[in-house]
A and B are shown apart, each in its own frame.
Chain A
Amino acid sequence: MRTRGSKAQGSVLLWTVVTIAILSLLGAEVLRLVSIKYEHAIQTATWQESLLAAESGIDLAIMELRKSLFPAPNHAWEGWNNIPGNGVTSYGLTTIPNAGLAGTPMTIEVSVDAPSSLIDNAGWQYYRIRTVGTMPILGSARAGQNRQDTRLRKLSLRWERFTNGVLTAHAISAPQVSRRTEAIVRPVSAFNQAIMSVKTLDLTNQNIVIDSYDSRDPFKSTNGLYDANKRQQNGDLATNGSLIEAGNAHIYGDVATNAGTVSGAANITGIERTDFYQEPIPVGAPSWPSINPTPYTVTGTVTLNAGAKEAAASRYQLAQISLSGNKTLTLAGNPDGSATYIEIHVTGNISVSGGSQIVVAPGVSATIYFDGNVDVTGNGIINSNNQPNDLHLYGVQPIDSSNRTVHLGGNGQITATVYAPNADVTVNGGGSSGHVFGSIVGKTVTMTGVTNLHYDEASGASGMINNYKIVSWFEDNRDSRDH
């Protein structure tokens, strides 16, 4: 009995061992598979997150570029290396032990430079932003099962394929993954839309027409002037606020709000969007090394002469411009109408009423900064060039952030661009023909009467820079096997 019992026990033991062995093998294989899958998932997730790091670097650079647009002191590029070379500006940044996936550090390297090949026809400099986002890889330095995974993600398990930006590998102590991007950003004019308001934008009349033309393009204008037969549909309206009262006006362009609504939208040809926000860059008071000493103020008929060079424009600082009766302020240039430049800083108000007027003579490109309010009636502002880009009106940001008003009316046709993000802007009339040519930025913008606004698309390439936008994006994922 003892022998038979021992045999039976031995048989059971054998089966148990065999079963446990098989289950263990199966378990080990499952564990191996899960482990590989887990590592693959971690590596893939880390690879994805390193792109977030690289693109965050682009955001960081654009943020500094935007800061540089603000009046001084704007603290732009503080904490960045500045290594000018070959006549270009170059900024570099290496940061940031940041909280990435599972609390792992994230490193972002950014360099910004300004190649001479990136200057457009208007003389505006585009910037090149190169970034490297790096994340450490958790777990072992084991490559994936499929070599195409390696070709794609280029994980740096034992070797980093770049050394100081050059495609030369060097050994590393811990696995990581880096992704490299290159973005080109272009400056964006403050006059990138027909009308942009910080708050409400109100078109009060269904007979209002807002459209666009391009004074640079003979197919979109005639002799550089608006031609209704060549009307373009880029008369865009946008607001940082939540409401555009379109008033059933005829808008040949897009409209955009900040999570808001457009009422009276029956005659809008473009699209309606609700994801707009554009922080208006404040205009600081001009700081010029020298100004013309006189006049100090303009209350009567006066002629101010423009200078021959844009970089050395003739500059005036006036306490106010207050014209009434039949007084005329003439911004005069050369008799032959060749290009001249003038800049005026009015520290008080601008008022034109009665039969008075401001005349911008042929060839003169005028920029007027104003600290106070603007009220233009009478004969208005006569821009002899009929080009909005030859008359820019900039509202200087009040120190106390108080509100300003800008009223543009009068008998004359208004041809100008207006940037006054701290002012309630009202536009009416535009002369007997009811036409305004240009672009308007205001805290609120209200158009009254039958006023037609024709946006010159050339304004989008002139005036003050208000932002930077990405125009080219590329991920550089080369390695030594690709070429």
Chain B
Amino acid sequence: MISSLIFSAIAMGLLMAFTALEHNYAATSDFALNHADQMRISDYLALDLRRALSVQAARNDTSIYIPNYYDANGNPQTPVLDQNGGVYYGALGSSVKVHYYLSAGTIYRQKDSTTPTALATNVQDFIFDVTDAGKVVSTKITFNPTFRSSGVAAGDPSAATAFYNTTLLRNKRTDNQIGVY
């Protein structure tokens, strides 16, 4: 009788421990995947922001305009100067629109009118902050974490998942006219 009770207690303890470990593992795995998603989104955004000609930033819906570098066959075009010494590719004034938007927790990236590509799921929010006269863009991306502590006072659990990135817009920091920079 006593041994059965001891066995049951140990078995129960082991079961609870394994369950807790499994939950912990699932939450950790989920966090790792979401973090990888954040890095991917952030890197995609940084890639396009670095080469951006202009940015129309809005929360969860942002358009980035990049040079029309490729021709119809996907080959680089020869750069040309405009009357003011500005550089352009393709037709004067042309650019490629890269549209990022959040829809039902999924972030999409769409180049011009091509089919949107889903970059990541379970994204709660992405915020743009354009600073330094439009030459620097900071992004903040959050997701809904699976693992939440019940002992912490109520608040936004995604706040702790915020992933920040600051990108210098290479084409915006230049000055085609005059000035010290």
Contacts and interface: CB of A to CB of B under 8 A. Distances in A.
Contact of B21 (A26, A37, A128, A236): A26
Interface in B54-105: 66-67, 69-70, 73-76, 78-81, 83, 85-87, 89
A475 B51 contact: yes
A317 to B, nearest CB: 33
| A-B CB proximity, top 5 nearest | A483-B74, A473-B170, A472-B87, A460-B178, A256-B180
A475 B86 CA distance: 18
A472 B176 CA distance: 10
27 contacts: A30-B25, A37-B32, A117-B80, A118-B80, A118-B81, A118-B87, A121-B83, A128-B79, A146-B37, A146-B40, A149-B36, A152-B44, A152-B47, A192-B180, A193-B178, A193-B180, A254-B179, A254-B180, A457-B177, A460-B177, A461-B85, A470-B170, A470-B174, A472-B79, A472-B174, A474-B89, A478-B74
Given A469-B175, A478-B70, 11 more contacts: A19-B14, A44-B43, A118-B80, A118-B81, A126-B87, A148-B120, A184-B79, A193-B180, A238-B180, A469-B174, A472-B174
Contacts of B180: 192-193, 236, 238, 254, 256, 273, 276
B18 interface: yes
B28 interface: yes
B80 A40 contact: no
Interface in B4-50: 14, 18, 21, 25, 28-29, 32-33, 36-37, 39-40, 43-44, 47, 50
Q: Chain A contact residues: over half helix, strand or loop, or mixed?
A: mixed
Nearest to B170: A473
Q: Main SS of the interface on chain B? A: mixed
Given A126-B81, A148-B40, A26 B76 contact: no
Most central of A256, A273, A474 by chain B CB within 10 Å: A474
Interface string B112-138: 000001111000000000000000000
Interface residues of A, number: 56
Nearest to A473: B170
A182 B29 CA distance: 39
A478 B179 CA distance: 34
B101 to A, nearest CB: 16
Interface string A458-483: 00110000000111111111100011
A460 B84 CA distance: 12
**B25, B85, B178, B179 — which one has the most chain A CB atoms within 10 A of its CB?**
B178
B171 interface: yes
A22 B18 CA distance: 9
Interface of B: 14, 18, 21, 25, 28-29, 32-33, 36-37, 39-40, 43-44, 47, 50-51, 66-67, 69-70, 73-76, 78-81, 83, 85-87, 89, 117-120, 170-171, 174-181
A118 B180 CA distance: 23
A29 interface: yes
Contacts of A355: none
Contacts, number: 126
B44 to A, nearest CB: 6
Contacts of B74: 167, 478, 482-483
Interface in A130-179: 144-146, 148-149, 151-153, 167
A469 to B, nearest CB: 6
Given A26-B21, A254-B179, A470-B170, A117 B79 contact: yes
Nearest to A460: B178
Contact of B81 (A40, A120, A254): A120
Contacts of A250: none
B119 to A, nearest CB: 6
A373 interface: no
Contacts of A473: 50-51, 170-171, 174
Query: Counting chain A CB atoms within 10 Å of each CB, which of B33, B76, B89 scores highest?
Result: B76
Contacts of B33: 145
Contacts of B14: 19
B3 to A, nearest CB: 9
A184 B50 CA distance: 14
A119 interface: yes
A348 interface: no
A403 to B, nearest CB: 25
A182 B76 contact: yes
A234 interface: yes
Task: Tell which of A145, A192, A193 has the most Cβ of chain B within 10 Å.
Answer: A192
Contacts of A461: 85
Interface in A178-208: 182-184, 186, 192-193
